[in-house]
Structure 1
Amino acid sequence: MKNSVALFLLLTAVVRLTFAQELPRRPYLGINLQGITDSLQRRYALPTKNGIFVQGVRAQSSALAAGLQANDIILQVGSTVLGPEVGPFVSLLKQYRTGDNATFTVLRNGKRLRKLVTLKPFPTEVSPWYETSYSSVQAGGNQLRTIITRPKGKQPQQVPMVLFIQGVGCFSVDNPLAQGDVTNRIIDSLSRHGYATMRVDKTGMGDSKGIPCSESDFRTEASGYKAGLAAIKQLPFVDQRNIFITGFSIGGIMAPVVAEGEPVRGVVVYGTASRSFIEYALQNKRNQSQLRQLPYDSINNLMRTYTAALHLLLTEKQAPAQVLARYPNAKQLISFPQHYSYIQQWQDVNLAAAWQKLNTHVLALRGEADYISYNEDHQLLVDVVNQQHPGWATFQLLPNVDHGFAKVKTQQESMRLADAPDPERNFEFMTVILRWLDSQRQV
C-alpha cells in the first residue's frame, strides 16, 4: 500500500459537482425506536421479542400522519416480518423512497392494526441566521449530500467559507430537527459570525448514496471531503481567498489530507491526533484503563495483547478473523466505529508529511478534560508546521471542556458523564475559533 497521501487521493477521488435534484431528500418516518427488551416483552405480554417498539412519534412526520402512536410495536412492514434487531428495520426503510407507501402492521393494546404510511421527505434546515441549500458531490462511486449555508442579512457580495469535517463513525450531519445537536450549534455560531459553511455527509448516511458507511475506508471518506472542497470553488458567493477547514476529532486527521495542494487560508483542529494509529491507540488504551482504575497488572496484560493484536491488524494487514484466531480475547480491542480497513489506512498515512506540505496557518485546540485526545498530538502537528513556517501554528489547551464539548473539569469527570443523555456543554471553544478565523482572514 502506498504511503503517499497525494497518490491515494488521485486514485480515489473522482470529483464533479452535481445538482440537488439528482439526490432527493430521504424519507422521514419520524419515530423514536428501540428493540424489544425483556421488560417490554413482560409489560406487553409478547410471545417473542420480534418487533420494533415505538418510544415516540415526532412532529411533521410520516408516522404521525399515518396515526402511529407511542408504545405501538411495529411487527411487519409490507410483507416483511420484523425480527428483534433495529438494524434490519432501518435497512428495510432505506429501500423506500420519498412518496412511497408502506403498510405497517402494529400491535396496540393487544390488537393488530394496519396503518398505511406515506413517506414524506426529510425536513430541511431553517434558520433566522442563514439560508440552506442542498446539493451533492460525486466521489468515486458515491454520491454524497452537501449541506451549504450562507449567512442572511446584509453581507458582502462574497463571504468566507468553512468546510466542516466531522468525527469518526457512521452518523449523519444533516439533522435539521435536532436544535441542540453539537454540529448544528457549531454551524449556527459560524453563520451568525458571517461565515458560509459546507458539510459533507458520509456515504450511506443521510441522503448520501453509495457503499454503506460501515464498509467505507479512510481514503474513500477523504475523497468525499476533497470533492466538497472542489465544489466550494464553484460557489460564486464564496470569497475564494478565505476558505478554511475545521476538523473535529478524526476530522483533524482528515484535514491536512484534504487540504493538500489546496490554497486554504487556515485549518482548525480540535481533539485530534497526528501520530500513527498504533502510537496513539496504545497511549489512549493505557490512559483510559487507568482512569477506570483497572489493576495495574491487568493493564499490563491488556497492553501486551493490544500491542500484539494491533501489529497483526495494522502492520501485517491481517483481517480481524485472523487476529482473533491467535488472540481470541482481543475482540473488543479491535472493534472500531468504522471498518477495520479505515484504521489500517490511517496507520499508513504519514501525518507529519501531510502537515509539513501545508502552506497555511493552523490552530490546534484540545479540551483539558479530553480523555480521547492528547497534548502530544496537538503539539507535534504544531511543531511540524512551525518547522516549515515559523509562527504559523498555535496549540491552545482549553479549560473545563472535554472531547464532546461537555462542561467538565477533569478526564475522570468526563468519563463518568460519557453516557449522560444531555450533559451541559461548554461552547467557549467557538469563541476561540471565531476569533482566530477573523485574525486570519485576508481583506
Structure 2
Amino acid sequence: MQKTFRVLSAAACSAGILTASACAQEDTSEARAEMVAGLARADDRALEDIEGVTTHYGAVETSDGATLRTLITIPDGASGAPHPLLFTQWVSCGSVEFRSDQNERARLAQESGLALMRVERSSDGDSQGPACDELDYDTEVRHYIEAYEALLADERIDNSEVYIYGSSLGSTTAPLVAKALQDKGHNIAGVMVQGGGAETYYERMLTFDRLYLERRPDDVAPEDIHDEIINRAKFHYEYLINDRHPDEIAEDSDAMAATRADIRGMEDGAHYGRPYAWHQQAAKKNFLAAWAAIEAPVLVIYNEFDQFESQYGHQVIADMVNRLRPGTATFVVQDNIGHGNSRYADAVSAYGWENAEPAWEQTADVMLTWLDDIRAE
C-alpha cells in the first residue's frame, strides 16, 4: 500500500525544532523516497512497510549540531491522535528501522494503540553527525532527551500521556530519559524495560564477565573462577570508577594484562563497539535514583537465560519502586528465554546462541497485556 512520509508538523518548524532548510524542504508528494525533513536516504534501502501501521519520517537537530532521523509509527485507522511510546535501544550501533515485523517492537506498533517513536542515533540510518561508535554515553542520552522532547510537540500525537520502552542497554537509558522528560513537565504514564537492570554499571560489567567465565565450561575450570573474578573486579574498578585506560591498567601487573586480554567485548579502543568513555560515563549514573523519581507504573521483564544480565539487576528495579510506591511495579521472569527474546534448551546453549527458537511473541504479549492493564486503571 502506498504511504505518504512527511516531516514534522509546522508547529515544530515555528518552534525552532527543525532547521530552516529542513522546514523548507517539507515533502508533500506521494513519493516514498523523497528527501524528508532535510535528510536524504543514506542508501538505497526501502522505507518501512509494516502491515497495519504508517511510519512518518522526520528529523530533529540537536544542540550540538547533529541531525537525527526520527520515526513516528501510527496505527492505521487510529481514531484521534494516539499517545506516544518512546523507544531507547541496545548498545550496538545500527538502524532501528524495521526490516520485518518479526519482533516485539513491530507488534507494539501494530497492536498497542500507541504511536511508536524512534530516533536513529548519530550516523545510524539517515542520521548525520559524529559516528555512533564515537559517541559517549552522556551525548547519547542528551540526544534522546532533545529529540523526544521535540517529537512530543508533533501534532500527530497526544502528549498528555507518555510511555517509554527500553530494550537491552536501553533499559539503562530509559529511566534517565523518563526522569528528564518528567522534570520538563511531561506526564510519564508507564515505563517498560527488558534486558537491563539497575545495579551499578560496575556490577553490570562484572556480571557480564562472570557469565563469560561460568558458561565457557571448556575454557575456564570452576576452581579458577574465584581468582578470575577478583582480578576482573580490580580491573573494572580502575577502568570504570577511576577512568583509567585499559591499556594503562594492563601495565600494572601480569594479572591485569591477562585480564585485559580476556574482558568480554573489549577491543583496541572500544568495548562492545563503543568508546571506553561511553562505559566510564555510564558507570557514573545512578539508575536507581532515576527509577525512584519516576512517578509511573513500571514493567520489568527478565529472561532466564539472558546471556549478559542478572535477575537481581532487573528485580531490584521492581523491589525498590514497590517499596516507594506499593503495587506500581510488575516483575516478570520468562523461562528458557535469552537476551534477544529467543528460547533455548539450557543456559549454556543460550550462551552459545545454539538452536534458538523465536520467542518475541511471548514478550510482546506480556507488554501488550501490561499496557492494557495500566490504561484500564
> Do Structure 1 and Structure 2 share a fold, with TM-score over 0.5?
yes
- Normalised to the residue count of structure 1, the TM-score between the two structures is 0.70
Instruction: Give the gaps of 5 or more residues in structure 1.
Output: 1-14, 29-121
Give, as a single letter, the amino acid of the residue that structure 2 aligns with 1:312: E
Contact 1:271 1:374 in 2 (8 A): no
Q: For residues 234 and 288 of structure 1, what CA distance do their matches in structure 2 show?
A: 44
Contact 1:369 1:414 in 2 (8 A): yes
Give, as a single letter, the amino acid of the residue that structure 1 aligns with 2:374: Q
Q: CA RMSD in A?
A: 2.1
Counterpart of 1:237 in 2: which secondary structure? coil
List aligned pairs for 1:42-441, cutoff 5 A. Answer: 122-139=45-62, 140-153=64-77, 155-175=78-98, 178-179=99-100, 182=103, 185-260=104-179, 261=183, 262-293=186-217, 294-326=220-252, 327-329=256-258, 330-333=260-263, 334-335=266-267, 336-337=271-272, 338-417=274-353, 423-441=357-375
Deviates more, 1:355-364 or 1:365-374: 365-374
Q: For residues 246 and 54 of structure 2, what CA distance do their matches in structure 1 show?
A: 45
Q: For residues 106 and 18 of structure 2, what CA distance do their matches in structure 1 show?
A: 22
Residue identity over aligned pairs, in percent, reads 27
Q: For residues 400 and 23 of structure 1, what CA distance do their matches in structure 2 show?
A: 42
Q: For residues 143 and 181 of structure 1, what CA distance do their matches in structure 2 show?
A: 29
| 4+ aligned runs moved over 6 Å, structure 1 | none
Give, as a single letter, the amino acid of the residue that structure 1 aligns with 2:117: M
How far the C-alpha of 1:394 sits from its partner, in A, is 1.3
Residue 22 of structure 1 pairs with residue 38 of structure 2: yes
Deviates more, 1:250-259 or 1:393-402: 393-402
Q: Call closer, same or farther: CA 1:241–1:439 in 2, change over 3 Å.
A: farther
Give, as a single letter, the amino acid of the residue that structure 2 aligns with 1:286: R
Q: For residues 374 and 17 of structure 1, what CA distance do their matches in structure 2 show?
A: 41
How far the C-alpha of 1:270 sits from its partner, in A, is 0.4
Q: Call closer, same or farther: CA 1:128–1:290 in 2, change over 3 Å.
A: closer
- Normalised to the residue count of structure 2, the TM-score between the two structures is 0.81
Contact 1:218 1:341 in 2 (8 A): yes
Counterpart of 1:25 in 2: which secondary structure? coil
Query: Could you say which residue in structure 2 is the equivalent of 1:72?
Result: none
How far the C-alpha of 1:304 sits from its partner, in A, is 2.8
Contact 1:160 1:242 in 2 (8 A): yes
How far the C-alpha of 1:131 sits from its partner, in A, is 1.0
Contact 1:147 1:200 in 2 (8 A): yes
Higher percent of residues as strand = 1
Q: For residues 290 and 314 of structure 1, what CA distance do their matches in structure 2 show?
A: 22
**1:154-185 deviations in Å (ceiling 9; x for gaps):** x221212211111111111125xx32663xx5
Counterpart of 2:322 in 1: which secondary structure? helix
Instruction: Give the gaps of 5 or more residues in structure 2.
Output: 1-15, 23-35
